[in-house]
Amino acid sequence: MLSEFLYQLHGVFSFFNVFRYITFRAALGALSAFLLCVFLMPGWISFVRRKGLGQVVRTDGPDHKHKAGTPTMGGLVGVGVAAICILMWAKPASYLVWLTLFGLLWFGGIGAVDDWLKLSRQHSRGLPALSKLFWQSVGAFGLLIFYLALAPGGISEASLIMLPFFKHPVGVTVIGFTFIAAFIMVGTSNAVNLTDGLDGLAAGCCAFAAAGLAVYAYLVGNRAFSAYLRILYVPDAGELAVVCAIIVGVCLGILWFNAYPAQVFMGDVGALGLGGAIGCVAVFIKAELVLLIFGGVFFLEALSVIFQVASFKLRKKRVLLMAPLHHHFEMSGMPESKVIVRFWIFSALLIIGMLSTLKLR
C-alpha cells in the first residue's frame, strides 16, 4: 500500500517512478524486513525473559540441555514483520498476495497456539498432531478454493502443474490438483518445522528457498522471460517475488539472533508460518514440484522421519540414529555448527543447480 501511495507521486517527482518496478520493491521489502526484525527482536527477547517463557527442550536425543530456557517464539516477530512489509511493498490489487498473506498468518497462528501450549504446560508437546494437521488442512483447502475461484485464466488453467525439466504443463483434475496443492502447503509447513531443530538451520534454509522462489516467481510473472524459458506464464506472479524477498529479509533478521549459539528460537509460529507461506507461493507460481528441489533440505528432513517411523513399525529397527536427519548427523559425532552450515551449503547448491537448468527444458 505504501508503494502505491509513493508511486502516485511520480508525476511530481520522477524518482518515484521506481516504485512500479518489482525488483526495486523486492529489494526494499527484503531490506526493511531485515531491519525491522533486527530492531524489534531485542525487545521481544527481553520481554520473553522477563515472563520466563523459555524453550522446553527434549531429553530423548542429543544433549541440548544448555538450550533450556532460551527465549522462544521469535517467529512471532518474523511473521508480524513479514505481514507489515507485504502490505507496504506488494501491490494490494494482487489476489495472490492476499492469499499468501492469509496463508502466512493462518499457519503462523496454528504455530503460535502450539508454542503457547508447550510453554504453558512446560512440556515439549503442544497441539496434538491430528488437531494441528486438521487446522492446517482447513486453511490450505480454504486458500485453494479462493485461488481457483479467482484465477483469471479459469479453473482449468489454474489447476495445471509444471514438472521440473519439462516444457509443457500437465493437466490434472481439479480435485487432484486441490489435494496435491494442499499436500504441498501443509507438507512444506510441517517440513520446515521438523527442520527447525538446530540453531539457525530452518531460518537459513528458508532464506535460500525463498530466494530461489523469488527468482522463479519473477520469471513466471514476466511474459517475455516465461516464453523464452518455456515455463508457464502466471499473471501477477511477479508480486510474489516481492513477498519472497520479504521472507528472505525476515529469515535473515531472525538468523541475526537465531544463529549458533541462538539468543532466541523461531518456535512453531515462525517455522509453520514461514513454511506455509513458502508452500503457498510454490503452488501459486506453479512450482509445486520445483519446491522439492528448492526446499530439498526440508524434503529430506520430512522423508527421514517418515522412513524412520515406517522402519521401526514394520521392522522394529531404525534406519537412522535419530530423526529428523540433522539429529542423525549430530548423534554420529558431527558438531552442531558444522551440521547447520553444511545443510545451508547443500540448500544453496540445490537452488543454484535448479535455476541453472531452466533453459534445459
Q: What is the DSSP letter of 263?
A: S
Q: Let me know if residue 9 belongs to a domain.
A: no
pLDDT of residue 84: 97
How far the first Cα of the chain sits from its last, in Å, is: 37
**Cell digits for 80?**
508480524
The owner of cell 518489482 is 22
pLDDT of residue 36: 97
pLDDT of residue 120: 80
pLDDT of residue 134: 96
Q: Let me know if residue 338 belongs to a domain.
A: yes
Q: What 3-state class would DSSP assign to 70?
A: coil
Cα(116)–Cα(53) distance, rounded to whole angstroms? 9
Range of the domain at 331: 21-360
The secondary element (H helix, E strand) that includes residue 171 is strand 170-171
Q: What 3-state class would DSSP assign to 161?
A: strand
For the chain, percent helix, then strand, then coil, each to nearest 5?
70, 0, 25
Which residues, 6+ apart, have CB-to-CB distance to 259 below 8 Å? 199, 200
pLDDT of residue 294: 92
pLDDT of residue 7: 63
Q: Let me know if residue 141 belongs to a domain.
A: yes
Q: Let me know if residue 72 belongs to a domain.
A: yes
pLDDT of residue 125: 74
Q: Let me know if residue 308 belongs to a domain.
A: yes
Burial class (CB in 10 A: 0-12, 13-18, 19+), 40: middle
Q: Let me know if residue 8 belongs to a domain.
A: no
Q: Let me know if residue 197 belongs to a domain.
A: yes
pLDDT of residue 63: 57
pLDDT of residue 66: 67
Going residue by residue through the chain, which has 361 residues, state the pLDDT in tens, using 9 for 90 and above: 777 767 676 667 777 788 889 999 999 999 999 999 999 999 999 998 888 777 766 656 665 666 777 888 999 999 999 999 999 999 988 999 999 999 999 999 999 999 998 888 776 677 888 999 999 999 999 999 999 999 888 888 888 888 877 777 888 889 999 999 999 999 999 999 999 989 999 999 999 999 999 999 999 999 999 988 888 899 889 999 999 999 999 999 999 999 999 999 999 999 999 999 999 999 999 998 899 999 999 999 999 999 898 888 888 888 888 889 998 998 888 999 999 999 999 999 999 998 888 877 6
Number of domains in the chain: 1
Which one, of 361, 231, 205, 169, lies nearest residue 294 by Cα?
Answer: 205
Cα(288)–Cα(301) distance, rounded to whole angstroms? 18
123-162 burial by CB neighbour count: b if 16+ within 10 A, else e? eeebbeeeebeebbeebbeebbeebbeebeeeeeebbbbb
Q: Let me know if residue 6 belongs to a domain.
A: no
